[in-house]
Amino acid sequence: MIPIIGPIINAFTGIGTEWLQGRREIKKAKIGATVARFEAEAEFAKQRIDRRENYDLEALKQMRYSWKDEWFVFIFTLPVIAAFLPGFQDYVLIGFQYLEKTPVWYRWIIIGMVSATFGLRWLFGGKVERMFKKENGDNNGN
């Protein structure tokens, strides 16, 4: 019976070795898939950043052919100048108080137009959204 024990031990050892190798291969495959997913996500994020930068750069280039930037500068400069002129100061203050009462969607439109015109979308990131959520009492952990 002793000669039979050797092949039995070898068979079990072989099965155990194959099982361990299979586990190793599965772990390698999982690690490879995870690395590939992270690399793909990083590449996608990089492409998104590149698109945003290119959009803002193109917006700045287009300013040469547009009157919008001059219009926005004029509109946004008027209250600053009027704030220093006696007789207009109260109107500026009242005007801003009324602007505070405008709907959030209207403010988003103004911010979007100015951001797109001057190529400043990157500046706001998620800050404007968090500001409006806070203003409206939506504090979902932000």
In this structure, are residues 123 and 115 in contact, taking their beta carbons and an 8 Å threshold?
yes
Domain edges within the chain: 1-64
In this structure, are residues 41 and 49 in contact, taking their beta carbons and an 8 Å threshold?
no
pLDDT tens digits, 6-28: 666 666 677 777 777 888 888 88
Cα 107 from Cα 100, distance rounded (Å): 9
Cα 103 from Cα 40, distance rounded (Å): 40
pLDDT tens digits, 56-84: 677 667 767 777 778 888 888 999 999 99
